[in-house]
Structure 1
Amino acid sequence: MQKPSWWQRLHWPEYCSEFLGTAFLVFIALSAVTFDFGFGSPLAVVFPDSSVRRLITGLILAGSGPLVAISPLGKLSGAHVNPAVSLAFWLQGKMHQHDLVCYIASQFLGAALGAGLVVLIWRERAASIHNGVTVPGVGYPIWSVFLIEMGLTCLLVLMIFLFVSSHRLMLWTPLISWLLVAFMYWLAAPISGSSLNPARSFGPALVSWYWRDQWVYYLASPIGALLAVILFRLLSLVGIHDVLTAKMFHAPRYRCIFKNVKAPQLNTDQDGKLIEPNKTY
């Protein structure tokens, strides 16, 4: 039999799931910002205090990721929806290199779609907040913005790793990530825009064709993910177990394309064929 080509050996259902999941995340996030802070916002009448509106916005936009995670899309792909998260799992030895590249490409393309839908649907309201482009806050030096984005991404990835390394906590990963991201957005949005996600920043920057200071968001988050992996490995020296799964919400009946998974699963080899359940590879 002829061996499948490299094109056929890729995991297209997972990549499509990441594409759609990231598009949903970016659309909801930018729509929340538009509705709460855009021109003619009804929420501004009810809550004139911008801090209160920012907290409400954080709770809405941060909830999009967990919704993807518990959906069939997220149960299949793992709902990374963030290049920094995928990079962290790869550094931890949980992803094949070709899957990492395709996940990141899917996430950036999905973010572009989500941002494009926001511009198409919200139009003038979206334009009034510059289509949700993440930019440094006025008066804050660029180095402080960089450190905040790096530090918050590090904290987010480390929290994810700590939860998915525990059989008791792993199913609660979507909930804790929702609360943590909402809190981060509430605190850091006026300073850095609280992106924590290079794809989330790329989408609105692309549709707005605005690239000033965007390098901060493409560089700070990956470095934060690298620091989180280092910290997690240091913690593993004092008793913390290894990451059990590379999925934000692990459902055993969904196939798993990741490496060295120690949670119940349907495993596949690199050709996408099912292999022995519960076997790490």
Structure 2
Amino acid sequence: MPRRYAFGRAEEATHPDSVKAAFSEFFSTFIFVFAGEGAVLALDKMYGDTALGASSLVVIALAHALSLFAAVASSMNVSGGHINPAVTFGTLVGGRVSLLRAIYYWIAQLLGAVVASLLLMLATNGMRPVGFSVASGVGQLPALLMEIIMTFALVYTVYATAIDPKRGSLGTIAPLAIAFIVGANVLVGGPFEGASMNPARAFGPALVGWRWRYHWIYWLGPFVGAAIAGIVYEFGMIQSEAPHHTHHQPLAPEDY
């Protein structure tokens, strides 16, 4: 493997920073999924299982943007604020996190999404989580392409505002920029295939609500889009030497 990539040292698995970062990802993903999926269930409670109107779409986009802003901002200094297995994969492809750290994050993110979905079902007196589905007449390949494009935009924004060594003071607004692109993408992709961009956001409701139809789209699409963004930005825009963890040091949050 190139020197810029690292599996992670054995001591990193039990290092307090790694454990803190994993817990941070768990809680922040919980916050995001609870609010995002909760907004969907709230609309269903108020209006029933009706067609998605423009006002409902705006509400869902806003709920995702606001909660993601809070989730990223509250975890950025501890874990880097991924809140998304695809974002973690994009940084892994770019050599910004070790494989071991990425695995920690993936487990934490998925658990956070599942716990959020379970508690949401309990708190709504048994309402079944909805998750994501491909709209009638859209097709699997167009839905997959939509997820690839939207996740590319998300991870490209993450790289530009939160990772790029030359970001300077721009890093201050990284949570806002990341939240904005997710909210904007929900407005675009929501009526077609739900606009997940996040395998954890899709997995938690799918498991608890047991809705698996076309679920693979919400894994493959985001991972492909994230990988493309990581490669394009890391090797096309930054063009720097290997990241600071090339000697297999655990990442500091600011290096994420």
TM-score tier, shorter chain, comes to 0.7 to 0.9
1:112 aligned onto 2:117 = no
1:20 aligned onto 2:4 = no
Deviation at 1:8, TM superposition (A): 2.7
1:51 aligned onto 2:57 = no
Partner of 2:14: 8
Instruction: Give 3-state SS (helix, strand or coil) of 1:139's partner.
Output: coil
CA distance in 1 between counterparts of 2:198 and 2:234 reads: 22
Q: Specify the code of the residue in structure 2 equivalent to 1:77.
A: S
Q: Specify the code of the residue in structure 2 equivalent to 1:142.
A: Q
Instruction: Give 3-state SS (helix, strand or coil) of 1:40's partner.
Output: helix
Partner of 1:135: 133
CA distance in 2 between counterparts of 1:241 and 1:171 reads: 23
CA distance in 2 between counterparts of 1:28 and 1:178 reads: 13
Deviation at 1:269, TM superposition (A): 4.4
CA distance in 2 between counterparts of 1:142 and 1:7 reads: 38
Aligned length: 238
Deviations along 1:189-235, one digit per CA (max 9) or x if unpaired, are: 11011000000000001001221210111111000011112221453
Instruction: Give 3-state SS (helix, strand or coil) of 1:161's partner.
Output: helix
1:40 aligned onto 2:46 = yes
CA distance in 1 between counterparts of 2:151 and 2:193 reads: 12
Structure 2 residue runs of 5 or longer lacking an equivalent are 1-9
CA distance in 2 between counterparts of 1:69 and 1:96 reads: 20
CA distance in 2 between counterparts of 1:13 and 1:233 reads: 26
Partner of 1:235: 236
Q: Would you say the 8 A contact 1:69–1:75 is kept in 2? A: no
Deviation at 1:182, TM superposition (A): 1.0
- Find 1:99's aligned residue among 98, 101, 116: 101
Q: Specify the code of the residue in structure 2 equivalent to 1:139.
A: G
CA distance in 1 between counterparts of 2:29 and 2:52 reads: 30
What is the 5 A alignment of 1:137-216? Answer: 137-164=135-162, 165=164, 166-216=167-217
Q: Would you say the 8 A contact 1:88–1:226 is kept in 2? A: yes
When residues 102 and 75 of structure 1 are mapped into structure 2, their CA distance, relative to the original with a 3 A threshold, is same
Q: Specify the code of the residue in structure 2 equivalent to 1:92.
A: G
Deviations along 1:166-194, one digit per CA (max 9) or x if unpaired, are: 11311111111122111111121110110
Q: Would you say the 8 A contact 1:21–1:74 is kept in 2? A: no
Partner of 1:264: none
Q: Would you say the 8 A contact 2:22–2:105 is kept in 1? A: yes
When residues 173 and 7 of structure 1 are mapped into structure 2, their CA distance, relative to the original with a 3 A threshold, is closer
1:60 aligned onto 2:63 = yes
Deviations along 1:125-161, one digit per CA (max 9) or x if unpaired, are: x33xxx1221111111110000000110011101111
Q: Specify the code of the residue in structure 2 equivalent to 1:107.
A: Q
Q: Would you say the 8 A contact 2:61–2:183 is kept in 1? A: yes
When residues 141 and 51 of structure 1 are mapped into structure 2, their CA distance, relative to the original with a 3 A threshold, is same
Return the TM-score normalized by structure 1: 0.76
CA distance in 2 between counterparts of 1:242 and 1:9 reads: 28
Q: Comparing 79-88 with 4-13, which one deviates more in the overlay?
A: 4-13
Q: Comparing 193-202 with 208-217, which one deviates more in the overlay?
A: 208-217
Q: Percent identity?
A: 26
Instruction: Give 3-state SS (helix, strand or coil) of 1:132's partner.
Output: coil
When residues 94 and 119 of structure 1 are mapped into structure 2, their CA distance, relative to the original with a 3 A threshold, is same
Q: Would you say the 8 A contact 1:134–1:195 is kept in 2? A: yes
